[in-house]
Structures are given as C-alpha cells and as structure tokens.
Amino acid sequence: MAKRKKIAVLFSGKGSNFAHIVNTLHQKECDVVVALTNNPNAEGIKVAEEASIPLEIIDSKAYESRESFDTVVVERLQQYSPELTVLAGFMRILTPLFTEQIKSINLHPSLLPRHKGLNAIEKSYEDEHTHGGVSVHYVTSELDGGEVILQKEVAKEGLDLEAYDAKVRRVEKEALEEAIRIVLL
C-alpha cells in the first residue's frame, strides 16, 4: 500500500475545519503530522490532543514582526516534513518567508476574488449576487490571492445571515476535504 501523505494543519480558533480533516482524512487518506496554532487559547487545541496529533503553540503576540513569527513557524513545520500545509481558520497574513518555502492551501468563505480578508461571509451575504460560497486556494504572499483550486456556491435566497453563515460553514468542510484530495492524492 502506498505511504500516506503528510499534512500540517494551522488554525487560530475553534478548529472545526481541523476536526473535520481529522474525522474524514486523518489516518485514512493522509496523516496530520502536526497541528499548529498562533493562539494559546484556541479551542482547536483540544482537537489535536484528543486525536494524539503533535501540537505546536507559537503565540504570534510574542513576536515583534510577521517575519520573525513566520521564521519560527517555518522551522517548526519543516521538522515534520509535511507535503502540504492546510490553513483552516488560521487568522494570520503570511509573509514570503512562509509562502515561498511552505506549500500551503487556504480556505476562504467567499467566491474569490470577491471579498478577500476579514468578514467575508457578511460581505458576501450583503452583496448584489444571488450566490456566495467558499474558495480553496494556494497561499501566496498576496492576501487571498493565490490560484483557486476549487469553489463551491451557496445560494442566498430565503436565508437570513445566520442561516447563510451556517450553510457556508458546512460547505467549507466539504470544499477543504475535496481540495486536499485534489492537491495530494
């Protein structure tokens, strides 16, 4: 049997997308060899602990610059030799120090190039389009600017913001799982 590919997952918050990767792909189609967070209070830490996945906590507030933080993140990731790094709700803008050394993909809750950056779900819900959605793209040093791997649409009709948000978050998980398969498998 072919050796499973190794991935790293970076997160900053609840870790719900990280948990989905653990539940659907980990030790089946690929191995999450490390989880890394920039937030010592991230709820996703529990996900790593429960799945016995090595965890790196690197508090971004302890670094003077994005570059010094990214340098440490790259060094830590390279110790695990992941073939792909997945940003699953990792709320940091990464510098070329990271993007030029680490092959990574990011999940973004809008149909890029629409609504880059923060509050994309709200912006997408309020725009003139009948559909919003999610994108998974390669990470470059341009915020949400890398080549799109896949997109999934979410119809807004008949949904209030809360229902639209919930639907986008469900679709995000499917999109991320699919994109990992496209890139790795």
Q: How far apart are CA 27 and CA 6, in angstroms?
A: 10
Residue of 20, 26, 108, 137 with catalytic role: 108
Q: How far apart are CA 161 and CA 122, in angstroms?
A: 7
Angle among Cα 73, 87, 32 to the nearest 5 degrees reads: 80
Residue 129 a catalytic site member: no
Angle among Cα 130, 115, 117 to the nearest 5 degrees reads: 150
Tokens of 132: 């919003």
Q: For residue 166, what are the CA distances in angstroms to 10, 110, 125, 163?
A: 22, 13, 12, 5
* Residue whose C-alpha is closest to residue 86's, from 160, 173, 155: 173
Active site members: 108
